[in-house]
C-alpha cells in the first residue's frame, strides 16, 4: 500500500503547486491529462444505475435537471442539456509543461457539432457577450478569476488561458488521451517524468521547509528521500473510474509506473508472482478476508528496523518510569528485547505472508489470522514470559489461561478463556458465556483466533492452508462482503431504526446472488503496480437506491421504501 500512498502524495503536490505558475510559450509536454469518455457514455451509466434501483427514469431526470441549471425553465422540451456538443466523442483537459519553463499552460477540448450554440450557453453562464466574434475567437472574461479564449477547429472547441495557444492546437486532441477514454469513464494521468527539474526542486524545498516548521526535531529524512525518489523515478500515475455494465460492477483503479531501469522499477519488478502458505485463512462466507504476500526491498527493511529501534528506545524509557523493582525491570527489558528481536529477524527475511478472516453470523463473531515469522520458538518463549508476568500481577488469570493446550498439525496452541461478565448481553450474544482467544506457534508462523468457536475455526484454516501450500495470489487482496455485515447489524444494533434499516439492506443484498463485495486488489504490472477497488452490482443497487431515498427525502417525498422498493 505504501507504493500507492506515496505516489498519491506526489500527485497532490504536483496538482497543488502547478496552478500557481504562469504560462510560458515554449516546447510543451503533457503533465496532467484528464479524460472524460463523453456525454452519451455518462448518461448510459446513469441509466444503468437507475435500472438497478428500479428507477428507469433516473437518466432522464438528471438530464432535465442539468437542462434546468444550464438554460432555465424556459428551455425548449426537445433542447439538449448541453447544446452544440457531440455526445459520442470524449472530452479532455491537458496541463502541459516544459523543461526550460516554470509555466503550465492548460488546454481544454470539447467535441462540438455547433460552436455557436455551445458558446451561446457558455457566454450566457459567464455573463458575457453571446454574439459570435468575427475572427472566431471567443473571449470569456472573469472565468474563475482569469480570461479564457475559445475557438472551434476541426469539430473541436478548444479553451485556453493564452490566446497564442490557439495557433498550435492538435488536429486530433482525442489522441492525446492515450486510450484513457476507452478504458475509463473518467481518468486522470499525471506524467511525473515530464515534471521540469526546477519544479521538482521547488517541491522538495517546500517539503523540507514544511518538515522543519511542523516537525521540528523529528527525523523526516526517510520520508523526504522516498518522495525525492518518487519524483525522480516515477513515470506515470493513472487514476481511473469505470462502470462496467458487462460485469455489473464499478471499478476505481490506480496504476503507478516507474521509468524503466530505475531502482523504483526494480522494486516494482519484485512484486512478481506472489505465493502464500495461508490460503486457508480466506474462509468461505467470511465478512472480511485479507491476504498479503511479497518481498520487501532493502529500503523497506531499513525503514522498519529504524521504527523498531525507536520503539525499543521509547519502551525502555517507559519501563524505567514504571517504578519496577530491579528484577522486574530486568525481566521486562528482556521480554521486550526478545520480542523486538523476533520482529527484526522476521523483517530481515525480506518476505511477508499474511492471511486473515472475520466471520460474522447474525449472533456471533470469529476472527482468525496468520503470519509468517522468524524464530517462532523465541516468540513462544516471550509469550510464556508475558503470561508469567500477567499471572504474577493477577493470579486469577491462571484459571483462564491454558498454556500448551494442544498441538494441531505441528502448531502449538495456547488458549485464554475469559468469562463474559453478567449483564453484558450483547457480548454474551457474540461470544457465548466466555470469550475464547487462541495463539498458535510453529517455527515459521504465528496464528491467532478470537471469538466463538475460535479453536475449531483456527484448526479449519490451518488444515485448509496445508492442503494448498505455496498458492499463487495477488500481492494484496481485501474483500468485504456486505450481506453478513448487514445481518449482523440487524441482529446486534441497539436501536430498532438501525435494526430495521440493516434488515432491509440484508434482504436486498441476499437477492444479489453473492454480488455484494467491495474488493481491493493490488498486482504487479510492467515497471509498476496496479491497485483496484471493485464494487459489485448488489452494492451498486443499494447505493443507487440510497441516493434515490435521499433525493426523495430532500424533496419531501415518501419515506424509505421496503425491500422490494429497492
Question: What does each C-alpha distance from 504 to 52, 490, 507, 566 come to in angstroms?
Answer: 16, 9, 5, 9
More confident residue, 254 or 247: 254
pLDDT of 64 reads 79
Does pLDDT of 26 surpass 60? no
More confident residue, 148 or 66: 148
Does pLDDT of 417 surpass 80? yes
pLDDT of 411 reads 96
Does pLDDT of 548 surpass 70? no
Does pLDDT of 366 surpass 90? yes
CA–CA distance, 499 with 439 (Å, rounded to integer): 34
- The 10s digit of each residue's pLDDT in 195-220 is 888 888 887 777 777 666 655 444 55
pTM of the model: 0.84
Characterise 54 by phi-psi region: left (phi > 0), alpha (psi -120 to 50), beta (else). Answer: left
C-alpha cell at 119: 458558446
Does pLDDT of 256 surpass 50? yes
| Non-local CB neighbours of 142 within 8 Å, separated by 6+ positions | 126, 127
Does pLDDT of 223 surpass 60? yes
Helix 197-214 vs helix 221-233: angle between axes, to the nearest 10 degrees?
160
Mean pLDDT over 543-553 rounds to 68
Cβ pair 13, 226 in contact under 8 A? no
Cβ pair 344, 373 in contact under 8 A? no
Mean pLDDT over 308-315 rounds to 90
pLDDT of 31 reads 92
Question: In terms of C-beta density within 10 A (0-12 exposed, 13-18 middle, 19 or more buried), how is residue 495 classed?
Answer: exposed
pLDDT of 513 reads 85
pLDDT of 142 reads 66
- The 10s digit of each residue's pLDDT in 118-146 is 998 888 877 766 677 888 999 988 656 67
Cβ pair 358, 288 in contact under 8 A? yes
**SS3 label, residue 25:** coil
More confident residue, 529 or 78: 529
Residue 101 pLDDT grade (very low, low, confident, very high; cuts 50, 70, 90)? low
Amino acid at each position: 500500500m505504501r507504493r500507492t500512498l506515496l505516489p498519491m502524495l506526489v500527485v497532490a503536490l504536483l496538482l497543488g503547486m502547478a496552478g500557481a505558475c504562469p504560462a510560458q510559450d515554449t516546447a510543451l509536454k503533457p503533465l496532467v491529462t484528464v479524460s472524460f469518455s463523453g456525454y452519451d457514455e455518462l448518461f448510459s451509466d446513469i441509466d444503468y444505475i437507475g435500472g438497478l434501483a428500479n428507477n428507469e427514469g433516473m437518466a432522464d431526470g438528471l438530464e432535465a435537471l442539468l437542462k434546468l441549471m444550464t438554460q432555465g425553465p424556459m428551455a425548449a422540451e426537445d433542447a439538449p442539456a448541453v447544446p452544440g456538443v457531440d455526445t459520442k466523442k470524449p472530452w479532455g483537459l491537458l496541463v502541459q509543461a516544459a523543461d526550460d519553463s516554470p509555466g503550465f499552460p492548460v488546454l481544454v477540448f470539447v467535441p462540438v457539432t455547433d460552436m455557436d450554440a455551445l458558446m451561446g450557453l457558455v457566454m450566457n453562464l459567464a455573463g458575457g457577450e453571446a454574439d459570435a466574434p468575427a475572427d472566431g475567437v471567443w473571449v470569456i472574461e472573469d472565468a474563475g478569476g482569469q480570461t479564457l479564449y475559445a475557438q472551434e477547429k476541426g469539430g473541436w472547441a478548444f479553451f485556453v488561458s493564452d490566446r497564442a495557444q490557439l495557433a498550435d492546437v492538435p488536429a486530433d486532441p482525442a489522441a492525446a488521451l492515450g486510450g484513457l477514454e476507452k478504458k475509463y469513464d473518467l481518468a486522470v494521468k499525471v506524467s511525473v517524468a515530464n515534471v521540469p527539474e526546477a519544479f521538482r526542486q521547488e517541491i522538495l524545498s517546500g517539503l523540507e521547509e514544511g518538515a522543519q516548521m511542523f516537525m521540528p526535531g523529528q527525523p523526516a529524512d526517510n520520508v523526504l528521500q522516498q518522495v525525492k525518489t518518487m519524483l525522480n523515478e516515477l513515470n506515470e500515475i493513472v487514476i481511473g473510474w469505470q462502470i462496467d455494465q458487462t460485469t455489473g460492477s464499478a471499478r476505481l483503479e490506480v496504476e503507478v509506473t516507474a521509468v524503466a531501469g530505475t531502482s523504483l522499477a526494480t522494486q516494482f519488478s519484485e512484486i512478481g508472482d506472489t505465493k502464500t502458505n495461508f490460503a486457508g485463512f480466506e474462509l468461505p462466507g467470511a465478512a472480511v478476508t485479507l491476504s498479503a504476500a511479497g518481498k520487501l526491498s532493502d529500503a523497506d527493511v531499513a525503514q522498519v528496523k529504524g521504527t523498531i529501534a525507536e520503539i525499543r528506545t521509547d519502551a525502555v524509557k517507559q519501563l524505567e518510569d514504571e517504578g519496577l523493582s530491579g528484577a522486574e525491570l530486568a525481566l521486562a527489558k528482556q521480554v521486550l528485547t526478545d520480542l523486538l528481536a523476533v520482529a527484526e529477524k522476521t523483517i530481515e527475511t525480506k518476505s511477508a505472508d499474511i492471511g486473515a478472516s472475520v466471520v460474522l453470523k447474525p449472533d456471533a463473531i470469529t476472527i482468525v489470522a496468520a503470519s509468517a515469522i522468524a524464530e517462532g520458538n523465541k516468540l513462544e518463549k516471550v509469550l510464556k514470559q508475558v503470561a508469567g508476568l500477567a499471572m504474577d500481577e493477577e493470579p486469577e488469570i491462571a484459571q483462564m489461561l491454558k498454556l500448551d493446550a494442544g498441538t494441531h498439525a505441528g502448531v502449538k496452541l495456547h488458549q485464554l478463556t475469559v468469562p463474559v461478565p453478567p449483564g453484558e448481553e450483547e457480548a454474551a450474544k457474540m461470544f457465548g458465556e466466555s470469550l475464547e482467544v487462541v495463539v498458535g506457534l510453529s517455527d515459521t508462523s504465528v496464528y491467532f483466533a478470537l471469538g466463538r468457536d475460535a479453536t475449531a475455526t483456527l484448526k479449519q484454516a490451518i488444515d485448509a492452508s496445508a492442503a494448498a501450500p505455496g498458492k499463487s495470489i495477488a500481492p494484496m487482496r481485501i474483500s468485504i462482503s456486505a450481506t453478513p455485515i448487514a445481518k449482523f447489524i440487524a441482529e446486534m444494533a441497539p436501536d430498532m431504526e438501525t435494526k430495521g434499516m440493516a434488515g432491509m439492506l440484508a434482504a436486498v443484498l441476499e437477492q444479489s446472488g453473492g454480488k455484494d463485495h467491495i474488493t481491493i486488489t493490488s498486482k504487479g504490472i510492467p515497471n509498476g503496480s496496479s491497485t483496484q477497488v471493485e464494487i459489485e452490482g448488489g452494492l451498486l443497487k443499494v447505493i443507487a437506491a440510497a441516493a434515490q431515498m435521499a433525493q426523495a427525502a430532500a424533496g419531501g417525498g415518501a419515506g424509505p421504501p421496503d425491500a422490494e422498493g429497492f
